[in-house]
Amino acid sequence: MFVKFAIDVIKACGNVSDAAALLNLSWDEIHLIRKKAV
């Protein structure tokens, strides 16, 4: 469930840095979520 929410946030933000800040995750964690989504 969180992964789907995180992907929606990444899409809405348009960049990884803003999404990472909103989700309180590192850039690496965001990248891993994006990698799993594909």
Burial class (CB in 10 A: 0-12, 13-18, 19+), 6: buried
- pTM as predicted: 0.78
In this prediction, residue 32 has a pLDDT band, given cuts at 50, 70 and 90, of very high
CB atoms within 10 A of CB 37: 12
% of residues, the chain, pLDDT over 90: 76
Predicted local confidence at residue 23, as pLDDT: 96
The stretch 6-25 carries a mean pLDDT of 94
The stretch 10-27 carries a mean pLDDT of 94
Predicted local confidence at residue 1, as pLDDT: 86
Does the structure show a pLDDT above 80 at 38?
Answer: no
